Amino acid sequence: MPISLSQIAQQGAHGASMMPIIQGVGRAAIEISSLLQTAVFKGALGVAGSENIQGEQQQKLDVLSDEIFLEEMKSTGFVCAVGSEEQEELLVINEYASADWVVLVDPLDGSSNLDVDGPVGTIFSVVKRKTDNNERPHVSDTLQSGQQVLAAGYVLYGPATMLVCSVGAGVHGFTYNRASSRFELSHPDMKLPATGGYYSVNEANADKWLNNMGSNLENLKQETGLGMRYVGAMVADIHRTLLKGGVFLYPADSKNKSGKLRLLYEAIPMGFIMEQAGGKAMSDDGMAVLDIEPQALHQRVPVYLGSHSAVDCLLGIK
Ligand code: AHG
Ligand code: MN
Ligand code: MN
């Protein structure tokens, strides 16, 4: 009998309370995956004509994926609010405003890949609200460091749809089986290889990188001989890094002094997964990603995520 997502209830101290949310993520994933496969026939490809809070063009599929994810979080009955890349403000779920959990989400990651039928993903994490349950959830509920995260993970919409997640008891990968209409455990207890793999970065920005990153990357290449892969969708690049080893980075540069990736719904969830898989998740100034105290919902941070040796080499730590 294949092991289904409900097995999460057996994992660690928070598995049982996180299970309804992760099952909700699973339902959203199936809907988003099917939407992606049929988008071209429904006129759902292309720009929506709006911008998100980061000033980026929203794709129609960004907006639709966000709606699907929010509906599925609502349907769990356990989520009081969702902070999304696609929403300027925290979305309070009025029907369940006294519930315990707050979810952060990048509903569709790597959306520049949509036009070329490349892989995209969804990234999420869960924290417990800080406000009292009888108060209205507030954006301050989302401003919690990665040390407070109870569950996090991602969905990769590739040739197969995979849900990779952790409730703080290791990382487990589930693959959607269309025949059984279920996510089935396919990659138990994923561990990042300590050596080997690839470095993954948009090297076109190298001349603008700060903090000696250009020469540190040259050192990494010389010392390790790592090959290079870059999909341009964080979910796909992190998934490969988890399975094959190496490092994914999005450093600060002279144009984007805090890098590009968002702390709450990209860096922290992926940092949590990396550490749970035995890897390392760092930002600049010697800060571990999970130790950064967030100041704003849409804050950006530089990230270096991967094996200890590759991350240390990039950061000049010997
Ligand atoms: P999103 O599509 O959610 O805005 O995220 C895009 C991100 C991330 O997926 C990827 O790692 C990065 O942007 C790629 O950026 P560049 O095109 O600058 O390399
Ligand atoms: Mn993203
Ligand atoms: Mn996105």
Q: What mean pLDDT is predicted for residues 59-81?
A: 97
Q: What are residue 282's DSSP bridge partners?
A: 288, 304
For the stretch 13-29, pLDDT in tens is: 999 999 999 999 999 99
Q: What are residue 83's DSSP bridge partners?
A: 104
- Ligand 1, atom 18, residue with closest C-alpha: 202
Residue 261 Cα to ligand 1 middle (Å): 7
Residue to mutate, 234, 247, 270, 298, ligand 1, most ligand atoms under 8 Å from C-beta = 234
Q: What integer pLDDT is reported at residue 148 of this predicted model?
A: 98
- Considering the domain delimited by 198-315, tell me its CATH architecture: 3-Layer(aba) Sandwich (3.40)
Residue 209 Cα to ligand 3 middle (Å): 23
Nearest-atom number in ligand 1 for the CA of 112 is: 2
Torsions phi, psi for 153 (to 5 deg) = 170, -170
Burial class (CB in 10 A: 0-12, 13-18, 19+), 253: buried
Q: What integer pLDDT is reported at residue 56 of this predicted model?
A: 82
HSE, side-chain direction, 13 A CA sphere, residue 7 = 19
Q: What mean pLDDT is predicted for residues 6-18?
A: 96
**pLDDT band at residue 132 using 50, 70 and 90 as cut-offs:** very high
* Domain at 5-187, CATH class: alpha beta
Average pLDDT, the chain: 96
Nearest-atom number in ligand 1 for the CA of 123 is: 3
Q: What is the pTM of this model?
A: 0.98
Residue 166 Cα to ligand 3 middle (Å): 21
Is the pLDDT confidence value at 284 over 80? Answer: yes
Q: What integer pLDDT is reported at residue 10 of this predicted model?
A: 95
Q: What angle (nearest 5°) sits at the alpha carbon of residue 285, between those of residues 282 and 291?
A: 50
Is the pLDDT confidence value at 35 over 80? Answer: yes
Q: What integer pLDDT is reported at residue 49 of this predicted model?
A: 86
**Which residue ranges make up each domain of the chain?**
5-187, 198-315
Q: What integer pLDDT is reported at residue 55 of this predicted model?
A: 83
Q: What mean pLDDT is predicted for residues 250-264?
A: 97
Is the pLDDT confidence value at 54 over 90? Answer: no
* Residue entry with tokens 């417990």: 128
Q: What integer pLDDT is reported at residue 64 of this predicted model?
A: 97
- Ligand 1, atom 11, residue with closest C-alpha: 234
Residue 118 Cα to ligand 3 middle (Å): 14
- Ligand 1, atom 2, residue with closest C-alpha: 110
Q: What integer pLDDT is reported at residue 52 of this predicted model?
A: 83
HSE, side-chain direction, 13 A CA sphere, residue 238 = 37
Residue 117 Cα to ligand 2 middle (Å): 16
Rounded CA gap, 54 and 43, in Å? 25
Q: What integer pLDDT is reported at residue 214 of this predicted model?
A: 97
Task: Evaluate whether 146 touches 283 at the Cβ level (below 8 Å).
Answer: no
- Ligand 1, atom 14, residue with closest C-alpha: 232
Is the pLDDT confidence value at 158 over 80? Answer: yes
Q: Which amino acid is at 21?
A: I
Is the pLDDT confidence value at 318 over 80? Answer: no
